[in-house]
Chains A and B, each alone.
Chain A
Amino acid sequence: MSEQLPKPKVAMHWLVAIGVIFLFVSSWWMLSLPLPSEDFTYRQLPFQMHKNVGITIMVMVVAMVALRIVKKRKQLQIKKSRLERLASLDHLLTYFLIIACCISGYLSSSFSGWETTLWWLVDLPAWSEENDDLNIFFSDIHLWTCWALLAVVAVHIGAALYHAFKNDDVIDKMFRL
């Protein structure tokens, strides 16, 4: 049997997967809700949930990157095949895009003048006063990094299917908790 991956890493992988899908689905329908005002507060809860899940995912991804760095230090002497190098690149790109997507979303929200209270418990700092230009700028970065993330996730799922049909131990490791 192959070497088992650390349980926290497997658990975080699946939690991040659920979170990312939740965020993509929610971003589509919540933007069709009426624009926010004093009377129309339909967007309040979905946007707050979107931010809660997004920031939590970012924390988990940072932890996954840290685990990866620690593991890499131990395995510096192992030579990787071309396919493994491509897989590493896909993982790094996924991590980078998730973090970029979350940070740009948080900054966009921060410059929109809306406060962010993580899980209704922790007040996160607003980086400046309301600034429409910066809000639109970070909102655009949020949009494009998220589309790029969707493309990378599609490649990731494609690679997972490749391993599943090849019936090697990669899929097996990712399902062992």
Chain B
Amino acid sequence: MLFGVLLLASHSNELLKQIVIAPGSIAELGVPADCRADELEEEGLSLLECELMVSNVQIILASSPEWFRPLMFLLSVSGILFAALSISVGFSFVKIKV
């Protein structure tokens, strides 16, 4: 049950990450980072750190082969389903315990 809870939260995050960091998105097109001074102050970041955030997305996209994203989609969706199943099986086991 506990692992089901942890896995459900973790796999939904992975799914969200795969949706957000998509091939062909702005970072991959080579658009320079938009680092406004007020945003940097709010986040407590340096200019270099702000630029690194864009580079990080570029690295993730550049290092992922074409098949990687669909596979991660599949894995995280099945992970979510199996984690939910694990939680419901856990509850059922407790129910039948005398």
With the chains together, A37 CA to B1 CA distance in Å?
Answer: 41
Residues in A whose Cβ lies below 8 Å from that of B87:
14
Give the bracket for the number of chain B residues in contact with chain A.
35 or more
In the assembled complex, how far is the CB of residue A26 from the closest CB belonging to chain B, in whole angstroms?
Answer: 5
B43 in contact (CB, < 8 A): yes
Asked if B34 and A46 make an inter-chain contact with CB atoms under 8 angstroms apart, the answer reads no
Asked if A42 and B94 make an inter-chain contact with CB atoms under 8 angstroms apart, the answer reads no
Residues in B whose Cβ lies below 8 Å from that of A112:
42
B78 in contact (CB, < 8 A): no
Asked if A177 and B91 make an inter-chain contact with CB atoms under 8 angstroms apart, the answer reads yes
Residues in A whose Cβ lies below 8 Å from that of B36:
35, 37
Given A45-B16, A46-B20: A132 and B38 interface contact (C-beta under 8 Å): yes
In the assembled complex, how far is the CB of residue B91 from the closest CB belonging to chain A, in whole angstroms?
Answer: 5
Given A39-B31, A40-B34, A175-B91: A34 and B19 interface contact (C-beta under 8 Å): no
B41 in contact (CB, < 8 A): yes
Asked if B39 and A22 make an inter-chain contact with CB atoms under 8 angstroms apart, the answer reads no
Residues in B whose Cβ lies below 8 Å from that of A45:
16, 19-20
Contact among A32, A37, A132 with B56 in the assembled complex (CB-CB below 8 Å): A32
Contact among B6, B41, B42 with A21 in the assembled complex (CB-CB below 8 Å): B6
In the assembled complex, how far is the CB of residue A154 from the closest CB belonging to chain B, in whole angstroms?
Answer: 14
Give the bracket for the number of chain A residues in contact with chain B.
20 to 34
In the assembled complex, how far is the CB of residue A12 from the closest CB belonging to chain B, in whole angstroms?
Answer: 13
Apart from A31-B43, A46-B16, A49-B16, 10 more pairs, CB < 8 Å: A25-B9, A34-B34, A35-B33, A35-B50, A40-B26, A42-B27, A112-B42, A135-B42, A175-B90, A176-B95
Interface residues of B (CB under 8 A from A): 1, 5-6, 8-10, 12-13, 16-17, 19-21, 25-27, 31, 33-36, 38-43, 45, 50, 53-54, 56-57, 87, 90-91, 94-95, 97
A and B contact pairs by CB, cutoff 8 A, 25 listed: A18-B8, A19-B9, A22-B8, A22-B9, A32-B56, A33-B53, A34-B34, A34-B50, A34-B53, A35-B39, A35-B43, A38-B34, A40-B33, A40-B34, A45-B16, A46-B20, A132-B38, A135-B42, A139-B42, A172-B94, A172-B97, A175-B1, A176-B91, A176-B94, A176-B95
